[in-house]
């Protein structure tokens, strides 16, 4: 019975749509995260004088807010993914479940 259920799920067009959308969206967010993260790492590796510039009279340098920005960016794209998953992806999952378990 499980093989039959798996086959019905895999052959369902809504499942194929869900899989394609989720995979594509995941790759775009991964690419965005890689650009931001590795961009920061490349700055650390090749442009230390820029990152070590002081902001004002204190001890804060340019690198600190940029590093903080990388962390904030990660939180934001995670929230974006969760929002889309809770709306679009969960709706498609419910449609697949309803169609397959008739």
Section 59-69 average pLDDT: 95
Answer yes or no: are the C-beta atoms of 62 and 51 closer than 8 Å. Answer: yes
Q: Decide if pLDDT at 2 tops 90.
A: no
Section 57-80 average pLDDT: 96
| pLDDT, mean over the chain | 93
HSE-CB for 59 with a 13 A CA cutoff: 0
Q: What is the pLDDT of residue 75?
A: 97
Section 26-52 average pLDDT: 96
Q: Decide if pLDDT at 1 tops 70.
A: no
Domain ranges of the chain: 2-100
User: Measured between alpha carbons, how far is 20 from 32 in angstroms, rounded to an integer?
Assistant: 18
62 SS3 class: coil
Measure the CA angle with vertex 82, ends 93 and 69; round to 5°: 160
């Amino acid at each position: 019975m499980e093989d039959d259920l798996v086959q019905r799920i895999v052959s369902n067009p809504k499942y194929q749509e869900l899989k394609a959308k989720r995979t594509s969206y995941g790759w775009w967010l991964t690419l965005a995260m890689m650009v931001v993260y590795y961009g920061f790492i490349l700055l650390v590796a090749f442009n230390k004088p820029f990152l070590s510039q002081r902001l004002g009279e204190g001890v804060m340098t340019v690198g600190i807010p940029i590093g903080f920005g990388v962390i904030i960016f990660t939180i934001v794209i995670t929230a974006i993914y969760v929002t889309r998953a809770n709306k679009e992806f969960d709706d498609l999952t419910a449609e697949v479940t309803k169609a397959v378990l008739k």
